[in-house]
Amino acid sequence: MKKLSFACAATLFLVAVVVSGADRPTTIHEFYDAEARTRVIAHRGFSGAAPENTLASVRAAIEVKADMVEIDVTLTTDGHIVVIHDETLDRTTDGSGDVFRATLAELQELDAGSWFDPSFAGEHIPTLDDVLAEVEGRILVNVEIKSEAVARGVVTKVASAIREHGMVDQVVVSSFSPMALQEMHSVAPEIRTAVLYNTTYHRGQDAVEIVTDLGASVFNIKRQRLTRRMLRRCRENGIPVGIYTVNKTRRMRRLVKKGINAIFTDHPNLLLEVLNPTSTGTPAPIPAEAIP
């Protein structure tokens, strides 16, 4: 996805709709309440307004009052959990090469903000501890475990971090890796997990069986891959469904009308406006070329 200009992102941020604090869930149980409105998940933070997976994007998601922030985690070569989506450093930092070959100290010397806009120069790749400390009591978190780190012990480290911060009831862990979800269910059954539908492993399988077989309780899937049968089966069995990554308001409206439990978006302010239309104005339009 192309990034927005800083001016456009700032405008979007300033006009974002604010929902009342009483409407926002404070626990994972409340978040996935079947009777609740569609929940807003800020994908990699408010990544339409700030560089993804940085503390700046996390803070922006909190400020705009999204219900949850989603981040991606993997491991450094010296075993630290860091927040970054790609396996390599090239796209979102001024560094290059594989993330897993770098130490934490080496990663923290990199600039993870200038690629998005010069005003974010100096943003660093945060650790999972950094993010959990930042969000505790302020917003719920979806921690996506990257598949490439599972064999290197990331799952137990993530579980330990969540427990140490006392945030078991504020975090859901997701992954495309069935092994990651099975391991999390085994080592920390009290931490709620979400399946990320993986065409390599899950194609042709029943959605309910996928979730239950992995000890999970939530089904997350790309918008284009969701079928009516999947949605019906999940509803019949009380399994919440999350859809990613939706950035156009017309698609948001359709999913809200379908009663989708949660939507991942780079622009949580737009989804909040869909859910809570205001009479005082609407967010500035996003240039068509900036949205996939």
Q: How far apart are CA 265 and CA 194, in angstroms?
A: 17
Q: How far apart are CA 285 and CA 287, in angstroms?
A: 6
Q: How far apart are the first and last CA of the chain?
A: 6
Is 43 considered catalytic here?
A: yes
- Catalogue the long-range contacts made by 84-88 (C-beta closer than 8 Å, 24 or more residues apart): 84/53, 84/112, 84/125, 85/44, 85/52, 85/53, 85/146, 87/146, 87/148
Choosing from 80, 85, 185, 202, the catalytic residue is 85
**Measuring CA to CA, which residue among 288, 265, 117, 240 is closest to residue 273?**
265
**Measuring CA to CA, which residue among 269, 286, 291, 285 is closest to residue 61?**
269
> Is the Cβ–Cβ distance between 180 and 147 less than 8 Å?
yes
> Which residue reads 């077989």 in tokens?
213
Structure tokens at 284: 């500035």
Q: Classify strands 171-175 and 218-222 as parallel, antiparallel or unpaired.
A: unpaired
58 CB contacts (<8 Å, ≥6 apart)? Answer: 45, 69, 71, 126, 131, 134, 135, 139
Which residues are catalytic, by number?
A: 43, 85
